[in-house]
Each structure stands twice: as structure tokens, then as C-alpha cells.
Amino acid sequence: MRILIVADPIESFKTYKDSTYAIMQAAVARGHALAFCGQSELWLEGGSAWADAQPLELAGPQLGEPGHDPHRWWRLGAPRAEKLVAFDAVLMRKDPPFDLEYVYSTYLLEHAVREGARVFNDPRAVRDHGEKYAIAEFPEFTADTMVTRDPARLRQFVQKHGEAVFKLLDGMGGASIFRARAGDPNLSVIVETMNQFGARSVMAQRYLPQIADGDKRVLLIGGQLVPFALARIPKLGESRGNLAAGGTGHAQPLSVRDREIAESLAPRLHARGLFLVGLDVIGDCLTEVNVTSPTCFREIVEQTGFDVAAMFVERLEAEVVRDA
């Protein structure tokens, strides 16, 4: 296969933890050819979706090999204008934020799909599944949740539960997440800061003390479950497990409840074109459905030996053959 990867600048990759890099390694190991472009190298012209695609080689020692240099592991060829439909698969691996430019990219990639391109994840499905808000479809698996712009309702929610977590719907990596407590003299300040006096929507969730055992990332690939989750355990004094917020990742087998949630969502999400999904689970409750650029491949393989990236590429091959 020829695979085009759309991602952040390649020099920004941290090979020791980057899931996109792991996918590249697995694809090359299985004989596939890679090309690379950034979000800004996508465009529409003449009724077709195009990319300035650069051939990508993994050059020099790779991660795990003697002499690996995290700044010198690739070689990019000269960019060439190609229609997206010319590739066997297009992987949208651009990290959030999910801003207007990201939305515009989904429009362009959706146009490519109409031309016959195979884009993973499906751009319309990505656009339709806000990573925080998507849990509203699955209330049987979630803690009590509210989304509102009304400051009074947010305060009432905290009073009802004693403790709650506030999130901005477009937040990422644990940014702008507040733990609010009834009786806290700063509660009104937290509410005002979060929703800007009614100008921004805020998600409130009942606080789950099981966060102390980790915010679990459960991966779904091609409608199948990765058998291990990565529990991201908050550092001392924190209530956020995100690795970007200083959490520590601990790989562990899926619990019975993890499997129940994942087996229920996997076929439904896959049928919508969501090939790779990262479910976030705290205790027994689903808290987020991540569909833009889910990670944690590297941590799971290093701690368990289960090669998530190889599973990704194998399932990708099956999808491409099925759709051919």
C-alpha cells in the first residue's frame, strides 16, 4: 500500500512515545510505502482534493536500535502534488486542538472520500464526534453529566454531588480541567473562569475518586479491542491523569467493565468510519471518546509486549482490501 500520513511537523515527533511514529515503523515493516504532509499542504482545486506529499523513508537507526537519534530518523523527498484518491490510505494524525482549521480539513478530506479516497478516521465522523460531548450518546456507561452555559446550573450541579469536574468542550491534554467542591469559597470564580459569565459551554461530571487508580485509555482498532488499557495515574496532588499533565502510564489488562463498555461501542463506532478510537474510562465510567489522534501505542507495547501498531496496520490492510 501507499499510505499518506497527515500530521504535525515531523521534527516535532517524540519517537520514544509517539504513536504515529510507531504506526510508520509497523507499516514499513510490512512493506508499505509512506508519504507525509502537514495540514497546510492539503488543498482543493479543480473539484479534487490534493496534497503536497513528500515520500518518507525511515532512515538511520530507529528507536530501539543502537545509535538512534531522535532528531535524525527520517528522510523526506521532494514534495509532489498528488490527488488524495491516488493513495491506498490517508491517515489523519494531526493532533488537536480541534479548531476551525481542523474543521476545514475535515471538509477537504470528506471531499476526498466522495472521490473514492480511503481516509482514517472518516472525516465526517471525526467532525460529528466531539471528544468530550460524544459520551452523551452513551448515558448507561457514564457518571452524571451536564453540559450548559448557565453558571447557576453549574453551581447547582456541584452542590448536588459535593464534588464535580468541569471541562471545556474543546480542551485537550488535561488543559482547563477544574475539580470543584461544594463549599469552596472560590467556586463562583471557577465557574466564571470556565464559562466566562455564560459565554462558553462547560461540561460538568460527577467527580470520580477512582481517578486515583488511573484514567484508563482503552483502544479500539477496526472494531476490535486492544486487550490492554493504559491507566494514566495522576501525580501526587493532581486529579488529572493525562500524560501531558504529568500522569504516569501503567498498562494493564482490560477489566470486565472496560470490556463491557468497549464491546458495546466498538461495532457502532466502527460502522460510522471511526477506525481508531481511544475510550477514556475512570473506574466503571466512560468519560471521553477520543477520535482525532488517539495515542498510548508505545507505552502498551513496551510494558506488555502487545504490538498495538502492528495490529493497527494489519486491520488497516483488511479495511483497504474490503473497500477495494
Active-site hit among 93, 206, 216, 240: 240
Cβ-based neighbours of 14, under 8 Å, separated by 6 or more: 70
Q: How many CB atoms lie within 10 A of CB 197?
A: 10
What is the rounded CA–CA span in Å between residue 64 and residue 183? 51
Q: CA of 277: how far to CAs of 94, 198, 265, 270, 294, in Å? A: 14, 32, 10, 9, 6
User: In angstroms, rounded to a whole number, what is the distance separating the alpha carbons of residues 228 and 118?
Assistant: 28
User: Looking at 132, 155, 216, 298, which residue is catalytic?
Assistant: 132
Residue 280 is a catalytic residue:
yes
- Closest-CA residue to 290 (of 241, 218, 233, 224): 218
Q: Is 242 a catalytic residue?
A: no
Query: Which triple of cell numbers denotes residue 142?
Result: 457514564
Cell numbers at 281, concatenated: 474510562
Of residues 18, 88, 110, 280, which has the active-site annotation?
Answer: 280
Q: Which of 93, 155, 167, 216 is catalytic?
A: 167
| Residue 217 is a catalytic residue | yes
Closest C-alpha among 27, 45, 44 to residue 36 = 27
* Residue 160 annotated as catalytic: no
Q: Which of 232, 242, 299, 319 is catalytic?
A: 232
Q: Which of 216, 217, 298, 315 is catalytic?
A: 217
C-alpha cell at 48: 479534487
CB distance 50 to 115 below 8 Å? no
Please say if 257 is a catalytic residue.
no
232 is catalytic: yes
Catalytic (active site) residue 167: yes
Q: Which residue among the candidates 122, 290, 298, 315 is catalytic per the annotation?
A: 290
Q: Quick one: cell of 166?
A: 468541569
Q: Which of 122, 215, 288, 299 is catalytic?
A: 288
Distance CA 277, CA 122 (A): 12
Could you list the active site residues?
132, 167, 217, 232, 240, 280, 288, 290
